[in-house]
Amino acid sequence: MQMNRVVKSLIAAVGVAATYSVAQAADITGAGATFPYPIYAKWAEAYKKSTGNGLNYQSIGSGGGIKQIKAKTVDFGASDMPLKAEELDAEGLTQFPAVIGGVVPVVNVDGIAPGQLKMTGEVLAGIFGGKITKWNAAEIASINPGVKLPAEEITVVHRSDGSGTTFLWTDYLSKVSAEFKSSVGASTAVKWPVGLGGKGNEGVAANVQRIKNSIGYVEYAYVKRNKMTYTQMKNLDGQFVSPDDENFKAAAANADWAKAPGMYLVLTNQPGKATWPVTGASFILMHKSQAEAEKGKEVLKFFDWAFKNGGQMAADLEYVPMPAPVVKLIEDSWKAKIKDASGKALW
C-alpha cells in the first residue's frame, strides 16, 4: 500500500498501525474510519507530547470500527456513517461527531490538471453505476467544453472494505440519481456494478495514482497529501465548486445537531452556493456503560483536548473542527450518557 511520507511519519510517531502496539496503562485504543485518520494521527502525536498519553488507532474502515466497538475490543469506534438512535440504544452505545470533512472525486487522466474537470452528481452516478464508460462520453464532454478528453475506457476505483467514505459517496449519488439509488443504493458496502477495489482511502488513492484513466473517491486530506487531481462538482444550488474547508463549512452551516436524535446527521447534498456536495461528519462511538472507567475517561479527555487545542491542526489538513456550541452539546451528552459500572458520570 503506497502512503504519503508525512502520514508514514505520523504512524511511526504515535504507534498507529494495522495491529495494536503494546499500550501503556493510560493509552487508549480506537479503530474505524480512514476518512479522519490523518487528523486523528496528528492529534494523537500532539496529545502524547502534551500529556504523555498515547492513542493507538487502527485505520480499518468504518465497518470494522462499528464491529470492534460492538465487540468491546477497543475503547472507541469511529465511523463516517452515523448509527441511528434505535441501533445505538440496542447496542448500549452513544455517538458524537468529532470532525467534518469532504469526499472528493479524483482522476488520473493525462493532460487534466487539478480542478480543471467538472462533474455533476448525475454524471458521477452514471460513471460509478457503469452507464458512462468512456472519458469522451457526451455526458462528460458537454459540461467540459474545451477540455481535451481521451477516447479511453474509464476505470472506476471504489472501496473494497466497509467504509463510511463509501456511505457518504453512495448516499450523495442516491440523492441525485433515482437509478443509482435503485440499482446500487447507499451503504458502507455496496455491490458495485463496475470497477476495482482499494482498501481504505489509502488504497483508493494508491490505485488512482497508479492506473491511467481512472476515477475514485477519497477524503480531501488524502488529495492534499498525495497531490492528486481532483474535480470540481456541481452543488444543489447549481454552482460548480472546488473542495476546501470553507466549502465543507458551508455544507455544515445549517446542521442542527441539537434536534438530531442520537446526533444522527448526514450532510450530503446540502443547499448553499458555496457548499461542497459530499460533506460529512466523522463520528466516535462509545459504550454508555464503561467497564474500564479510566480508559473511558481518557477517551473523553483526548477528544476534549482535541476540541480545545486541535482546531488549527484540523484546518491545516482541510477538515472543519466542530464549532464551540456543538462541542458544548457533545460534552453535555457525555455527562448525561457515559457512566462507569456503578452509574456515576465519567465527565
Quote the domain boundaries for residue 78.
5-102+280-340
Domain count, the chain: 2
- Asked if the model's pLDDT at residue 214 lies above 80, the reply is yes
Check residue 26 and give its pLDDT.
Answer: 66
Q: Are 173 and 246 contained in the same domain?
A: yes
Q: What angle do CA 307, 283, 209 make, to 5 degrees?
A: 100
Per-residue pLDDT tens digits for 265-309: 999 999 999 999 999 999 999 999 999 999 999 999 999 999 999
Q: Which residues, listed in sequence order, are joined to residue 103 by a DSSP beta bridge?
A: 219
Collect all residues with Cβ–Cβ distance below 8 Å to 90 and sequence separation of at least 6: none
Split at pLDDT 50, 70, 90, the class of 20 is very low
Q: Which residues, listed in sequence order, are joined to residue 291 by a DSSP beta bridge?
A: none
What number of helices (H) and strands (E) belong to the chain?
14, 15
- How far apart CA 165 and CA 61 sit, in angstroms, is 8
- Asked if the model's pLDDT at residue 22 lies above 50, the reply is no
Check residue 254 and give its pLDDT.
Answer: 85
Q: Is 72 left (phi over 0), alpha (psi -120 to 50) or beta?
A: left
Average pLDDT over residues 202-226: 96
C-alpha torsion sign, points 35, 39, 44, 47: negative
Collect all residues with Cβ–Cβ distance below 8 Å to 209 and sequence separation of at least 6: 2, 108, 226, 228
Q: Are 31 and 97 contained in the same domain?
A: yes
Split at pLDDT 50, 70, 90, the class of 21 is very low
Q: Are 141 and 229 contained in the same domain?
A: yes
- 3 state DSSP class of 168: helix
Mean pLDDT, rounded, of the chain: 92
Q: Are 213 and 153 contained in the same domain?
A: yes
Q: Are 218 and 295 contained in the same domain?
A: no
Residue 346 lies in a domain: no
Residue 136 lies in a domain: yes
Q: Are 45 and 160 contained in the same domain?
A: no
CATH number, domain containing residue 252: 3.40.190.10
Looking at 262, 290, 305, which one is the last position of a domain? 262
Residue 39 lies in a domain: yes
Check residue 10 and give its pLDDT.
Answer: 42
- 3 state DSSP class of 59: strand
Collect all residues with Cβ–Cβ distance below 8 Å to 145 and sequence separation of at least 6: none
Would you give the distance in Å from CA 145 to the centre of its chain?
Answer: 32
- 3 state DSSP class of 248: helix
Q: Are 321 and 236 contained in the same domain?
A: no
Q: Are 114 and 246 contained in the same domain?
A: yes
- How far apart CA 65 and CA 44 sit, in angstroms, is 18
Name the H helices within 148-260.
164-176, 178-183, 200-210, 220-226, 245-252
Q: Are 158 and 221 contained in the same domain?
A: yes
Check residue 325 and give its pLDDT.
Answer: 93
Per-residue pLDDT tens digits for 44-92: 999 999 999 999 999 999 999 999 999 999 999 999 999 999 999 999 9
Residue 273 lies in a domain: no
Per-residue pLDDT tens digits for 324-339: 999 999 999 999 999 9
Q: Are 198 and 329 contained in the same domain?
A: no
Average pLDDT over residues 16-39: 71
Per-residue pLDDT tens digits for 171-196: 999 999 999 999 999 999 999 999 99
Per-residue pLDDT tens digits for 101-155: 999 999 999 999 999 999 999 999 999 999 999 999 999 999 999 999 999 999 9
> What is the pTM (predicted TM-score) of this model?
0.87
